[in-house]
Each structure stands twice: as C-alpha cells, then as structure tokens.
Structure 1
Amino acid sequence: MRLFALRGATTVDENEAEAILSATDELMRELMARNGLDADAMVSCLFTLTRDLDAQFPAVAARRMGLSSVPLMCAQEVPVPGSLPRVIRVMVHYYAAEDHRPSHVYLREARVLRTDLQGAQ
C-alpha cells in the first residue's frame, strides 16, 4: 500500500448552503467511485472554497456521506484576481495499491482548471 493525494473541484451557481452541500456530495461521490475509495482507505480531506462561498462548510456534506471517521478541514482559497468564482476544491489523502492510478475529478465549470489532466473531467 502507498499513500496518494487526489484532487478535485466543482462549482456552484450561487452561495447557498444546499448548493454547496449538493455540489460537494456530487464531487466526493464521483471522486470515490472513480478511485474505488471508501472511508477506511481515506486519511484526510482538505476542502477549500473561494471567497464568494461562505453559506456552508463542504465538510458537512462529507460527514453526511458517512465519512465521520475521516479528518476533514475547510479553508478559504487564495483570492487571486480574475480566478474562477464559486469553486469548491478538495484534496484527499488515501492509501491504495502501489500500481493504483489516481483519477482526479473536475466537474462543472471547474473542468477548465485542469485541462492538462487527462480523464479528470
């Protein structure tokens, strides 16, 4: 087994709690499905939100999914002028087999953030 780090991001249309929870749930489920992950393999998750999102913590969605034993943290993304608005990002640390190939996940408008990662969309 080896420790891996996985990235993902998505966007929401508005700064509303339900929009943040729904988008985070979708992102985490897709990330976990593509990588065959469950809570037992996960070490930690770090969520960030752009400055324009403050209606809810993305970690709430992860807890509702059953990730109650995984350490979760939320932070604000660096507010770079001209950057994509209303973005939720996540970095997941997890254990997988040595030959595992991480599949990063970028959904909705966040797809433009990492067009260099084949299969991330």
Structure 2
Amino acid sequence: MVKMKLSKTNPNTVNLIKSLTKQSSAQDAPIWKAVANELKRANRKTKQVNVYHIDKNTDADDTILVPTKVLGEGNITHNVTVAAFKFSKEAEDKITAAGGKCLAIDELMAENPKGSNVKIIK
C-alpha cells in the first residue's frame, strides 16, 4: 500500500485528517472522509463561510459542519450547532447569541461518531 504524502504541514491539521479518515472507516460514515478530503485541499482553493450563509441554508436546531473558517459577516436568526475548523471571534459571538453552539470538528466527531443528521456547508 502506497501512502500519500499530505501537503499540510500543521501537525494539528494532519492529525485531524488522520482522525477523520480513521473514524470514517471505523463507523462506516462517509461524511468524515468527505471532510478529510476538504481539509486536504490547498488553502488557496478553500472558501470561508459567513454567518449569513449559514442562516440562509439552515433551519433551527440543525447541526452543520464547515470544513473551513466561519466568518462573522451578516446575522443569524436561529439556533444551530456549528462545527468548523476555525471561527472568527465575531462569528462565534453571533452564533452563541442566537442560541447556537460552536464546536471543533473533532468535538462533533466525538459527540456524533456516525455523523448522522449533519449537513456540510462549504
């Protein structure tokens, strides 16, 4: 078996990608493999997600995953659980003020090992 070299150099990112891939195999949950593949992409090819985009594409009590950074542009009008690679301070404040919750991707993976009822927004 040939191992592919990851282009990422941050050890936290590399470890998260490995954890997601392992979880995908262990739980037969393709969502974690999809997130790992998104994290492997070159930084210049990733798009950041604004709070208004989350508001527009979710309903109350949804759980979503953003494989990149969440930024604070716009407003959010309902509570959602958002797991992301990173949050800006403003985005985190707006999500929690609306009654939502902010998680790291590995925290969501621990809470929901199979990734059931999780939407990916990218």
Radius of gyration: which is bigger?
2
Higher fraction of helix: 2
Higher fraction of strand: 1
The TM-score normalised by the length of structure 1 is: 0.29
